[in-house]
A and B are shown apart, each in its own frame.
Chain A
């Protein structure tokens, strides 16, 4: 089965956006382009303001992804779990759509008896092990996030440990917002090695505003840029792929 690539945006933030476009609308835009948006809210104590919580859940909901609000200490474990869960969800959706084509539009996996569902899940499990995954990580580096950034770095390294254990290919890119000059700054361009982050992350300076919306918009164009560049370079690869399928 050809599922293509799984494309995800992983947003790590600690509160509300306060500049630029509505992030929930931008997440909806991402979903239209088959890019899932997952959000992790990092909190210090048990408190997060209601508005921030609503925005975090809203972004994930309209971005077709998963959201979690956690303490900084649980970040590493959550980041890998959310990414994995969202990936499985996407694949489940893909398999479900294929199934609908075969069985008719009214049927979905849930309509199958539990015994048959197992076989479908095996397909999803297989795919989640082998599918190509692209994760664009968007890190909120506004002032309140400053002391959480080392934890974020560790969590991202832990994420690459989890994802690199798969046999499928992984590509990562990291953007931070706000950037030094612009709303968004690219920290790491598409690479299979997220470990490269270790040397760059400590140099981060943290700024005031939280332009979450523009950051998601920029993230989307980052996926596009990559694709156009790829189509120029990798034409041979693609035709080979088509033949083999």
Chain B
């Protein structure tokens, strides 16, 4: 993007360059550039034989603002929201003072790279992890804001998702500080830019769509229709269709609720496949194509039930199960009764 050129030039550092803080006098040796955004450049640096990530910006305000967020995250007990903050300082150079902060270096692949390399089956796992992190973040009064695959790094082993770049992190109830259009509900005409938990949940749903459209897509007609069509065009999303749509339309009020529903879908998937194999055992004639069509139609009927009753769905199923069970007992009783009746007639006749 053209607009970052001036910024990039000002904060451009060479490999091997040493930065010394004005206040705390810590030294950092630049190793390589990790990335740059609208608000600064992040470098990998070495300090005291340890790798750290160092963010520089000519805009001291945004540095201070992000440091505030990271400090507030540190107060949330036992959390891994965002990278941990190590140092905040100014670097005095010939052309002026540049503010920077130093954080833990989170090493790994970005969300999309990871799913691409390790397989689509990781997608729900990572989304579940992300949702439980978001739950913590939301309950401490924040909204992440600029949630996108580039800001999600999978570290490990074992693979664990981490959020980096808190530039968009906003106090709930305020206007979102920074966002990326594709993941922004305002851009799609599906809500305001006021920071509430649903704003992040919308972005999570867009990330799921993003896994099937790695290059994203632009708004044409916008609205829920375009997004629904995008989901319909990808087979691998059909299982999550109603889940994604519910998040896009803001039907989930908390990350916890959304997580529960995703767990349910994943569980449903597992029990479906096991039930199908049992059925195969019994009949032994069903072909593979038939079973797959069975599982699809089942997930569809389940989906059709869900949109507004996410929480009721599991209970409904249990109820159905119970019904089926009691039906079976009723059948047995009836047959026993009928046979006894026949026998009774037989005995009476013989007499």
Contact = CB atoms under 8 A, between A and B. Distances in A.
Given A46-B2, A165-B194, A114 B71 contact: no
A118 B61 contact: no
Nearest to A73: B218
A166 interface: yes
Contacts of B59: 85
Contacts of B181: 76-77
Interface stretch (A11-19, A138-146, A155-163, A235-243): A155-163
Interface string A95-118: 000000000000001100111011
A110 B175 contact: no
A44 interface: no
Given A113-B23, A114-B88, A158-B187, A125 B65 contact: yes
A166 B60 contact: no
A165 B192 contact: yes
A68 B4 CA distance: 9
Given A46-B2, A70-B2, A117-B64, A81 B23 contact: no
B64 A78 contact: no
B174 A167 contact: yes
B314 to A, nearest CB: 35
A115 B193 CA distance: 30
Contacts of A163: 175
A74 B1 contact: yes
A50 interface: no
A223 interface: no
A157 to B, nearest CB: 10
A46 B1 CA distance: 10
Nearest to B193: A165
Contacts of A167: 173-174
Interface string A22-52: 0000000000000000000001001000000
B186 interface: yes
Given A70-B1, A110-B97, A114-B67, A121 B61 contact: yes
Interface string B176-209: 1110010000110000111100000000000000
Contact of A165 (B3, B60, B175, B178): B175
Interface residues of A, number: 37
A118 B38 contact: no
A81 B195 CA distance: 16
A120 B64 CA distance: 9
A162 B192 CA distance: 8
Interface residues on B, range: 20 to 34
A167 B67 CA distance: 24
Interface in B161-180: 171, 173-178
A162 B181 CA distance: 12
A85 B7 CA distance: 14
B71 A118 contact: yes
Contacts of B3: 68-70, 74, 78
A88 B61 CA distance: 8
A4 to B, nearest CB: 20
Nearest to A113: B23
Contacts of A110: 60, 90, 97
A2 to B, nearest CB: 21
Nearest to B87: A114
B1 A129 contact: no
B274 interface: no
Contacts of B171: 125
A118 B67 contact: yes
Contacts of B65: 121, 125
Contacts of B99: 114
A222 interface: no
A162 B175 CA distance: 7
Contacts of A71: 2
B174 A166 contact: yes
A117 B59 CA distance: 13
B2 A81 contact: no
A12 to B, nearest CB: 14
Contacts of B68: 118, 121-122, 125
B89 interface: yes
Contacts of A115: 88
A121 B88 CA distance: 14
B23 A158 contact: no
A38 to B, nearest CB: 13
Nearest to B65: A121
24 contacts: A70-B1, A74-B3, A78-B3, A84-B177, A85-B59, A88-B61, A89-B61, A92-B61, A110-B90, A114-B64, A114-B67, A118-B68, A118-B71, A120-B64, A121-B65, A121-B68, A129-B174, A129-B175, A161-B193, A162-B176, A163-B175, A165-B176, A165-B195, A166-B175
Interface of A: 43, 46, 68-71, 74, 76-78, 81, 84-85, 88-89, 92, 109-110, 113-115, 117-118, 120-122, 124-125, 129, 158, 161-167
Interface of B: 1-3, 23, 38, 59-61, 64-65, 67-68, 71, 88-90, 97, 99, 171, 173-178, 181, 186-187, 192-195
Given A43-B2, A117-B60, 10 more contacts: A46-B2, A70-B2, A85-B59, A110-B90, A114-B88, A120-B64, A162-B176, A165-B193, A166-B175, A167-B174
